[in-house]
Structure 1
């Protein structure tokens, strides 16, 4: 029962509610909703492990030192939880009309780019990203500084790039396909 309660709370906190941003009356449908690759959780996980090590270490030192270790552990746990929640709530969405990104924990930010404004998509895959299956997107448009420029830790970046290119092609925003 406690586990299901915790699971429900995490689900509610982690859902940025993408549906409310869709133009359903205009026929907009989600093609792909991208969450972060599991590698984006490594830093919060390392901080959680460090906090647990501080808690265990507090058992073996004097009481005068133990309280400082416990406070440091609690601060690290809260920080790690906040970072993990930020990763969970960060979504990149590809629709048949546009791409947009929703992120933020307490305040939510929305950055949108119509498919017609996408000039170029760069996919950067560092070595560890190639080994683990993630990459980073960099969108180029006529307006160089926008909130949708860099999308980090995207799982299966080549498949996602092809999906975006397919949506752009189907929308007729690139020239017609020329047969060989």
Structure 2
């Protein structure tokens, strides 16, 4: 990937432990709801540019406001595009940033609890927010916001943890009415 390519798309493969056999299970991009307000800001530039015609001598004021709206909106959409949450067979990590890249990693063995929060808008639009808890006090990977299809992503993480043998499985047998315990269960 060239120099320009690094600023246009995060290179997830560069962060994988290929020698150890690490593979990507799921790469999660931000849900479109994370950028809707920035697209709305960019759309606001259209009436600002149209108003340049009526501003006559002060055409530069709506022009500068329109350019600022387009620039800020495009920048924020690009920042959201560069934010990736990755689930591998060994760990979860988040890569974000355009000029300065920030990488936060948590091995599957350190994940103690995953909380998922879905607001009313999250239910309606299909996204949720994850909170990862580990034994560490200060962690770089805690809040992952605007995750699309969060139930499936949560099950994917739970499945990877289970298949890696990090959690024990309790053997449960089916009970019949004839085998009721003395306590009535």
TM-score, with structure 1 as normaliser: 0.89
Name 1:118's counterpart in structure 2.
Answer: 111
Counterparts of residues 9-158 of structure 1 (less than 5 Å): 13-64=7-58, 66-158=59-151
Q: Secondary structure at the match of 2:54?
A: coil
4+ aligned runs moved over 2 Å, structure 1: 10-14, 176-180
Structure 1: distance between partners of 2:32 and 2:5: 17
| Structure 1: runs of 5+ lacking an equivalent | 1-9
| Structure 2: runs of 5+ lacking an equivalent | 174-185
Structure 2: distance between partners of 1:152 and 1:87: 11
Structure 1: distance between partners of 2:8 and 2:170: 41
Give the length in aligned residue pairs: 170
Q: 1:167 aligns with which of 135, 143, 160?
A: 160
Alpha-carbon offset, residue 12 of structure 1: 6.5
Kindly report the root-mean-square deviation, in angstroms, between the aligned alpha carbons of the 2 structures: 1.5
Q: Answer with 1 or 2: which has the greater Rg.
A: 2
